Every structure is written in C-alpha cells, then in structure tokens.
Chain A
C-alpha cells in the first residue's frame, strides 16, 4: 500500500462526509463554469446581434441606447418619429426623386437628390415604423429590402431564408399592400401558417387591434436573432391603418393641426392609393453608407436638431463594457467566494475528523510513519476531495450549457457546445479553486503533524 492508497481509503471510510465535502466543492466550481458560460453566451449573443449588416441607425433625438434596444432587439419603447421626407434624404443616387414618383404627395425641392445621397453610393437606407404589436410580439413595418438586403449570422453573411412562403411585396395583386412575414418564434407561438391573417394592435400588447389585417406570405427560418420574435408587415399597408397617419404640424410651434391626420379614401383592400409623403413618419432608418462615410455621417447627423445617428455596435460594446463585463466579474467574485466556502468546508470536515483520527494517526506513527508521511496523507485527502469536486463541478457546469440549448438557443441564437465558452479565465480559475481546496488541508495536516503519539495511543 502506498500513501495514495492510504489517503484514498481514509476518504472512502467516511463516505457521507467525503461526499458532502466534495459536493460543496463541485457546486462551487459548477457555478463558476456556469457564470463563465452564461456571460459568454450573453456577450456572444449581443455581439452577433449587433453585427447587423448596417452601420447606423437614424432616429429622433433621445436615448441612443433606447434607439438601439428598440430597433435591434425589439425591446423598450420607440423614441419619437421623424418625417418620411427626412428618410428620403438618405436614399442613394436619384432615389429621392424616384420615391417621390412612386408614393406621391408634397415634397419640397422634389427635383433634387437627397442631401446625404452622395454618402450612400452602393449602400442602402431601410425605413422602420414601430410601436404596434401582434399579440405579444413586436410589429415591425418596413420595406421588402429588410430581408433582401440585410443578412444575419456570426459573420453576417447568411441571407434570410423562409421555411415556407416568400418575402412580402411592396404591392401584390392578391393582397395589395397587406402582406406580412413572421419570425420563426412568432409563427410557432401563434400557430401561424402561410395565409394566416395577423392584426396589429396599436401602441401596446393589450391594445385593440386594427380592423385591417396582413396576410402572412412568408415564415422565416430560425436565425437566433431578435428577428425570430418579429412580425414584419409592409410599411405601405401599415401607413394605411387607422391612426398611423401623421398630422400636419404648425411650422412655428410644431403643434398638430386638428383633423389633418386623415388617410386617403380607398375603394378596396387592393386599392393602389398610397399614403402621401407628407403624412408619413418613420421610427428609425437602418443605414449603410458607402465606404467609411458612416463616421462622418454620424457626426453630421448628430449636429442636427431633431435626428440622431447611432452606431449599434458602439452602443452594444458600451453596454458590454458598462454592464455585462463588470457583472461577470461581480458574479465570478461571488461564485469564487462559494468555492472558498467549499474549501473551508473541506478544512472543517478534515479538521473535525482529526479528533476522531488522532488515535489512527498515532497508530500509524507507532508503526513507523513519519510526521511527513502523515502530513502527505492528509494533504492527499484534501487534494482528492477538491479534485473530485472540481472535476465533477467542471463536468456538470459544462454539461448544463449544452443541455440548456433547447431553451437558450432559440432566445440567443448561440449554440453552447461542451467547451464552446471555455473562457480564457477557466484554465486559471478552476485549477486555482482546486488548489485553494487542497490548501484547506494544510491546517488539518499541521494538526495531524503535531499529534502527540504516546498520548493518543
């Protein structure tokens, strides 16, 4: 028998105490691994979602973070609206004139190009109107460009695809302006199929729905992005819903002119009459300017009185820096404390057993074991408990991640593999915690070292 076998036998001779001690260590280590995994998932989820394929979000003046939350994550409330004509200033080339011809209505200097069109060469501008809900999901009114031009995925290189149906059209002969595409989660939750009709409720989840519905013509494949939780309707149809018409405003005071928020007369659902430009507003514009124009454009827009330009990546990086990463450190500190408590429990467990083992230690000494032998045996016992707890905790911590995939993946779009969030901290923290657990054996080992043999026999 070697010293290792003797230590192992001692551990197994007190199975309950050993198991409880190792379990407390395992829980501590599993918590640390989970914290590292969860913070990794949050970070990756935010980063991949912020990798949206556009550089800037234009919206009304207000909280930049709120604009990002609302536009990218479909969270929080929309900020104020901006005029549609302002959106048209960003259309590349002669897009402003073409839009004027397509929609109709009053537009100052209608013959000129958009003010920022020269910065938009090769890029795009996509309008969004938000604020309505379909059941508990956000209703996002936009143009077909949303799915034609934007991409998704970690490298933002995956085009949006449909599990059934197609993208909605600006106008279709079957449904007029009233087509919709829904995210995978919306379709699943609301049991929507191609041909289902969805109704937007104005302003709140519980609000009354508009009488005019949108026919679902496409169901998106799951993307792991907030778009899974969105109901996307044609912006042209959205403008025609009751209450979505912008009123005329007094040029000096900005106050609404009573009775001016009226939609044009329409003969049927398939009528081709659109809401004129001056009656339209947008909540946000997704912008991809040409080349490196985004930085200059952002500064330029932010100097204006009523609009702001926000970089979603910068905002989310800021959010990660201010909240997520510090929170991870706080959680790590807390869970490390749990491990230290576990280490203390190893200390207490072995130390308490010292009293009842004094005689055993004295016998071993009488048989010829040196003080060093005894010290090594006790330290090996704490190493075994800490190591067993550490390994089990590490396995459990990493197993919980993949096991939670059915719940976390739809929400975050991030698949957790066995070692997918093997944080750079883990190779240091886990052995460090096991070392702390082992060192907890030092005090009992010293007590054992000092056991008076003759008195204890």
Chain B
C-alpha cells in the first residue's frame, strides 16, 4: 500500500481557546497508481487532510505512512524533503510563481527537491500537457487553462509517488475542466502515480472508479459553516 492513514486526528483552536475537532479518520488507504476522488462538504477538512498528508500541516495524532514510512512526528525540514521527493501538489488557484516562466516553474520544483535539474524532463512534461510552444511564457502570459496545465507538469516534475490535487478545476471553464482532469488522470497513469483528488464537481467525480466521501471517513462532528482549518 502506498498511503496508509490510521486514527488521524486534527483539531483547530477557536478564539475562546476551545479546540474543535476537524478530522478524526480511523482508516484510509491508497494503493500505488490508484486514483481516488475525495468529496465532501465545504469546511469538512478535505484541504486539511491533503495538507497533513503532504506535511504542510502537523496532525495532532494518529498515523500517516507513505511507502511504509511514518510521517507523523517528523521534523518540518524532513517533511519538506519527503514532500519534494515523493509528492506532487496541484492547487485550486494554480499557484505558479509569477516571476518565473512555465519551464522555470517546473524546474523550480526540481531545485527544491535537491536534485540535479533535469531540463529534458521539464520540457517533456510541458510538451505532454500541450505547452511545448509556451515554455518560456510567464504565467501572466498564459490562459487560465494553460496555467493549470503548467501546475500539473510542475507537480509531476520529481516523479512523485503520490499526486495531491485540491479542486484543480474549480477556476477553469467546463471545456477546460474535462481536458485538465483527463490530462491529470492520463499523466498519472503513464507515470504510475497515485492520485488523490478533491472536487465538488459531479462531472469530475464521475470519471473516477473510486469515490470517497470525507463525511463517511471522518468521525469528527463538525459545525456546518466552518472553513477548512489549517
């Protein structure tokens, strides 16, 4: 099993000082190369779960194992290294660095992973997402759909084992939406990368064979209007 989550707990503090439980997941597993959609209410903790898996946020307790290695309890710098080496992240708002071209955005991911920058791979990824003619464009010179495609290429730059995608089509028009999901799925298949994708879209969810409802995985009782806690 690539990813194993057990008894994962996360709370967040209220202004009163009381801690509100946001996540309490007894068990969740993801196999190598598997593609799963995660759905749930807004504020239900989907993004928090991705942040915990990627090591951006610490859990309060429980276990998150990637390829059998326990991530909970690691220092921040070690989590940074594991994230850079083994995970890719596609954000809802693309999060490209505006000062860097499409190619440089992809290369940056390699730089921070501490690896020799493989320019050929960066170009190959951009070509695979259909941007071979836009490699040297700044994000501001690309359309919304093109920007998200760059972010997909960037997320796959370090040959990750797991791709985390947080509502990657939320800011994209319907025509581009299916193209991007198709791109993410096909690229993950080609690279044998497991995919955990968060979405509100029924269309997107319908493309996956495994769809998980966070409400069913999560035992934490939540108040309805809480934004994702971090």
Contact = CB atoms under 8 A, between A and B. Distances in A.
Contact of B57 (A1, A367, A368, A454): A454
Interface stretch (B38-46, B64-72, B97-105, B181-189): B97-105
Contacts of A222: none
Interface in A346-396: 359-360, 363-373
A370 B77 contact: yes
Contacts of B111: 1-3, 6
A454 B97 contact: no
A368 B95 contact: no
Contacts of B97: 360, 363-364
A369 B84 CA distance: 8
A368 B98 CA distance: 18
Among B81, B89, B95, B112, the one with the most A-chain Cβ atoms within 10 Å of its Cβ is: B112
B109 interface: yes
Nearest to B99: A13
Contact of B109 (A3, A359, A367): A367
Interface string B48-86: 000100101100000000000000000011001101110
Interface of A: 1-3, 6, 9-10, 12-13, 359-360, 363-373, 452-455, 457
Nearest to B154: A367
B6 interface: no
Nearest to A363: B95
Among B54, B97, B154, B158, the one with the most A-chain Cβ atoms within 10 Å of its Cβ is: B97
A201 to B, nearest CB: 71
B117 A369 contact: no
Interface of B: 51, 54, 56-57, 76-77, 80-81, 83-85, 89, 91, 95-100, 104, 107-109, 111-114, 117, 154, 158, 230
A129 B108 CA distance: 81
A442 to B, nearest CB: 20
Given A6-B108, A363-B97, A453-B56, A368 B117 contact: no
B80 to A, nearest CB: 5
B91 A457 contact: yes
Contacts of A10: 99
Given A6-B111, A367-B84, A360 B57 contact: no
Given A364-B108, A365-B56, 10 more contacts: A3-B111, A363-B95, A366-B83, A368-B85, A368-B158, A369-B80, A454-B51, A454-B56, A454-B57, A457-B95
Contacts of B100: 9
Contacts of A455: 230
The 4 A-B residue pairs whose C-beta atoms are closest, nearest first, are A368-B84, A13-B99, A368-B112, A454-B230
Contacts of B108: 1, 6, 364, 367
B98 to A, nearest CB: 7
A455 B56 CA distance: 10
A324 B51 CA distance: 65
B112 A369 contact: yes
Nearest to B52: A454
B91 to A, nearest CB: 6
Nearest to B110: A1
Contacts of A363: 95-97
A228 B51 CA distance: 81
Contact of B113 (A360, A368, A372): A368
Contacts of A370: 76-77, 80-81, 112
Nearest to B89: A366
B109 A1 contact: no
Nearest to A11: B99
A457 B93 CA distance: 9
30 contacts: A6-B108, A6-B111, A9-B100, A10-B99, A13-B99, A364-B112, A366-B54, A366-B83, A366-B95, A367-B84, A367-B108, A368-B80, A368-B83, A368-B85, A368-B113, A368-B114, A369-B80, A369-B84, A369-B112, A370-B77, A370-B80, A370-B81, A370-B112, A373-B112, A452-B230, A454-B51, A454-B56, A454-B57, A455-B230, A457-B91
Nearest to B115: A368
Contacts of A373: 112
